[in-house]
Amino acid sequence: MKITSPFVTLCAIGAFVLVSSCGSNPPAGAASPEAGPDSARSGGQARRGGGGPGQSSDPKPYDEVITDKAVSDTGYFTTHRIDEQLFFEIPRAALDVEMLMLPRQAETSRSTGFFGGGGSRVVVWQRRGNKTTLREHSYDVIADSSTAIRRAVDRMNKGPIVAAFDVAAFGPDSAVVIDVTSLFTTANADMGSLQSVQRDRSFIEWVAAFPDNVEVEATQTASQRRPGAPPTVPPETVTALMHWSFMRLPADPMMPRLHDKRVGFISFTSVDYGRPEHRAETRRFIRRFRLEKQNPSEAVSDPVEPIVYWIDPATPEWLKPWVKQGVDAWQEAFEDAGFSNAISGRYAPTTDEDPDWSLYDLRHSVIYWRPSEIPNATGGQIYDPRSGEILKGEVNMYHNVMNLLRNWYFIQVGPLDPRAQNLPLPDSLMGRLVEYVVTHEIGHSIGFPHNMKASSQYPADSVRSATFLRRMGGHVATLMDYSRFNYVAQPEDNIPVNLLIPNIGPYDRFAVRWGYRPIPEAHTPDEEWDTLDRWSRVQDTIPWFRFSTSDATNDPGNLTEAVGDENAVYSSGLALRNLHRVMDMLIDVAERPGQDYELLEELYQNAVSQWGRYMGHVAAVIAGAETQEKYGTGERFQPVSRARQQEAMRFLGENAFDTPDYFIDPVILRRIEAEGIIPRIRAGQASVLRTLINTTRLNRLVEYEALAGSADRAYTVADLMSDLRSGVWGELSNTPVSIDVYRRNLQRAYLETIDAELNPPEADDDDGPSFIPPQFRRPTYASDARPILRGELSELDAAVEQAIGRAGDSMTRLHLRDVRMEIERILHPNGT
């Protein structure tokens, strides 16, 4: 409610107002610093601290500052707008109370996008005599309130002063009145504002006060460079509508729940100095919404406060029901955790319907629809750093995510769904794809990271069974994997099209249950641990409840964009069959009279990229180790068997190093480009070679052989180099030897890859560091990789020398001679 009488405003504050002031004039010039309860601690004549920061002017009588021109609003504290000025009237009860501050860009230019504002901060308003400061608080270090060290920890957590203000006047009950206009109309990095804000073109737009929060919006104009622009590009003028939400943190913090690496939860850490261990212990806790049962005695109960995600009014009308379903899909998982109606999507009111309702208000979890060309979506959360309680969930849906979804779906499962064999996709299919993305991003927003391990937890051949897919809810155990659409399935499998898209899976229900199910008998995080540990150990017998191993760098089942990577060779082979079918469909789907060939080119490029992903999934098997996160119950890493690695190399020889001629289709190429197919094939094959020939992978093979105790039990570096020579240089044993342009390029890429490993670029003292930073240059001379690669080149040189005499054409002969010269240069880069 907006009111202009300061007297009515004061009486409306309720508990924060002196009863004696209602119905009478407020005290002119009111309270001296000694009137506030903090005066002995931080006032002008305090025992410590002097008179506060800087020099301050004396406060004026209240009615000289808050005049009858004021437009006031009551809430946690009162706001007053007088022309271009904004005043906060902060009662004593709101001083030294922790609030969360969240800056966001509500409006911006097309060139800058919706990325400004920065992260949330815990802040407190504090009075020091005739000064009021806004100060940040930190929870990087903690200690129990009962410990002696807590006093020192509290002192460490006092962060920087964000801003300081003269007290313009004192209101009833020693409420401080301060002019905060400059806080929102000048540059302040701690406030998340624009850089180099120009005050003459920046002004307050809107303010609203509520019982627990205050919302402010201001237009800021600044001169700044675009992110990533080089110094030679001049700054440009940027104007943005900035929104700040200040919300009081819960008076009763939620009990934190300890993090467990075996279960995927987004988490935060604090260094705890109050633990009994003989050191400062880093404690990690999960982020989650606060869910409490209305009826704790019931197995399943509605929550006291459900999770609500408000859907941006800017969302296309036809998509709003699909976005809502994307939120509601999580309800079934929360029922397993004991909560009915725990989460839902709702349509946010428009400004016309409720002018004081804002998407950026910290009380509202929101799905924003961004008018952006970025083909993506994101999900995150704003949380209470004392407890991990998620206070505001945020999902960004960028408009062009629909283009990305179309390409993914067509390239991966177009041959399996008749609806995808004509473009554009029907609205019903695109709506379902958007729903899938919303559900995934809501997963992030309620606390879940990616779980790329999930795509390898079902038997690869089972994802071709409609019966299995119905029972498990889809081809992957969680929506939080990047396991898009079921490209392993074949047309003859007759998989219903609704099962080609992932749904909430068994891991999702398990993780929600683990993180959100109440443990009523526990009253501290430590008392919960035995129960949480027991829940986590079900992973030992149920693989689809497993999560990515945190320090696994080479798990071939922990991959992005994979389906059925429990057996990447089997699954990628089936995927290639579908990719062949897609290539046969391209002209019919993407050629339209009266339209250019942009769509054909885009889909063709996507098909080539998809081939590269399939090759990468198989290449990851080499020197890989299967993993399972465990807490004191056994081995966590198991190297992939020799037989599986040999199978993977045979696959790569047949599908990566043999030229993928289905991409060399003149019918398509002559429509989309004048040239480019030869370097395109080379780039794809070179990427596979770089994956296989690198010091890290070679050293891992050496180590695994050493631990196996026998070369017969391990896939060795010698095996890899032999298989690579067979796959890349197989023509050398032929009579006559004939090597076409694609294979010549592959062989050159092979030599370039080894050269990069043996002779990494050095730093240039004159021009600064080379392209590869020193910390990322691998010292091949410090491992077995160097002699292995040099020995391989020597043996290859001998084989090439013998093959030159059997060359069947002049280009092959010239190529082989050049190969020998390149080997010589690589082995003797300085001519020695």
Distance CA(405)–CA(476), nearest Å, equals: 18
For residue 49, is pLDDT > 50? no
- In the structure, what pLDDT confidence band is assigned to residue 558 with cuts at 50, 70 and 90? very high
Of residues 829, 70, 554, the one with CA closest to residue 79? 70
**pTM of the predicted model as reported, rounded to 2 decimal places:** 0.89
- In the structure, what pLDDT confidence band is assigned to residue 157 with cuts at 50, 70 and 90? low
Better-scored residue on pLDDT, 743 or 272: 743
Better-scored residue on pLDDT, 516 or 27: 516
Q: Could you list the beta-strand ranges (E) of 371-455.
A: 377-383, 390-398
pLDDT at 630: 95
Q: What is the pLDDT of residues 369-399, one digit of tens each?
A: 999 889 999 999 999 999 999 999 999 999 9
Distance CA(310)–CA(392), nearest Å, equals: 11
For residue 265, is pLDDT > 80? yes
pLDDT at 20: 33
Question: Nearest-5° angle of CA 271, CA 275, CA 277?
Answer: 105
823 and 751 Cβ atoms separated by less than 8 Å: yes
For residue 663, is pLDDT > 90? yes
Q: Mean pLDDT, the chain, as a whole number?
A: 89
Q: Which pair of tokens denotes residue 442?
A: 């809501």
The enclosing H or E element of 245 equals: strand 236-248
- In the structure, what pLDDT confidence band is assigned to residue 589 with cuts at 50, 70 and 90? very high
pLDDT at 29: 39
For residue 530, is pLDDT > 70? yes
| Sheet (strand 71-73) strand order | 2-3, 71-73, 78-82, 85-90, 176-179, 158-170, 131-137, 121-128, 99-107, 236-248, 213-224, 203-209
Q: What is the pLDDT of residues 326-376, one digit of tens each?
A: 999 999 999 999 999 999 999 999 989 999 999 999 999 999 999 988 999
For residue 407, is pLDDT > 50? yes
* Mean pLDDT computed over 81-101: 96
Q: What is the pLDDT of residues 273-318, one digit of tens each?
A: 767 776 677 889 999 999 999 999 999 999 999 999 999 999 999 9
pLDDT at 270: 79
Q: What is the pLDDT of residues 228-247, one digit of tens each?
A: 778 888 888 889 999 999 99
For residue 508, is pLDDT > 80? yes
Of residues 187, 160, 183, 157, the one with CA closest to residue 90? 183
pLDDT at 266: 96
pLDDT at 481: 97
Percent of the chain topping pLDDT 70: 88
7 and 172 Cβ atoms separated by less than 8 Å: no
Q: Which pair of tokens denotes residue 234?
A: 């001049």
CB atoms near residue 500 (< 10 Å): 22
CA distances from 730 to 204, 658, 723, 790, 821 (A): 73, 10, 10, 20, 20
693 and 757 Cβ atoms separated by less than 8 Å: yes
280 and 397 Cβ atoms separated by less than 8 Å: no
For residue 9, is pLDDT > 70? no
- In the structure, what pLDDT confidence band is assigned to residue 832 with cuts at 50, 70 and 90? low
Q: What is the pLDDT of residues 103-145, one digit of tens each?
A: 999 988 755 555 556 789 999 999 999 999 999 988 877 677 7
pLDDT at 779: 52
Distance CA(654)–CA(727), nearest Å, equals: 8
For residue 819, is pLDDT > 70? yes
Q: What is the pLDDT of residues 441-451, one digit of tens each?
A: 999 999 999 99
Of residues 568, 653, 661, 566, the one with CA closest to residue 617? 568
pLDDT at 113: 54
| Sheet (strand 267-272) strand order | 141-142, 267-272, 281-286
* Mean pLDDT computed over 755-769: 70
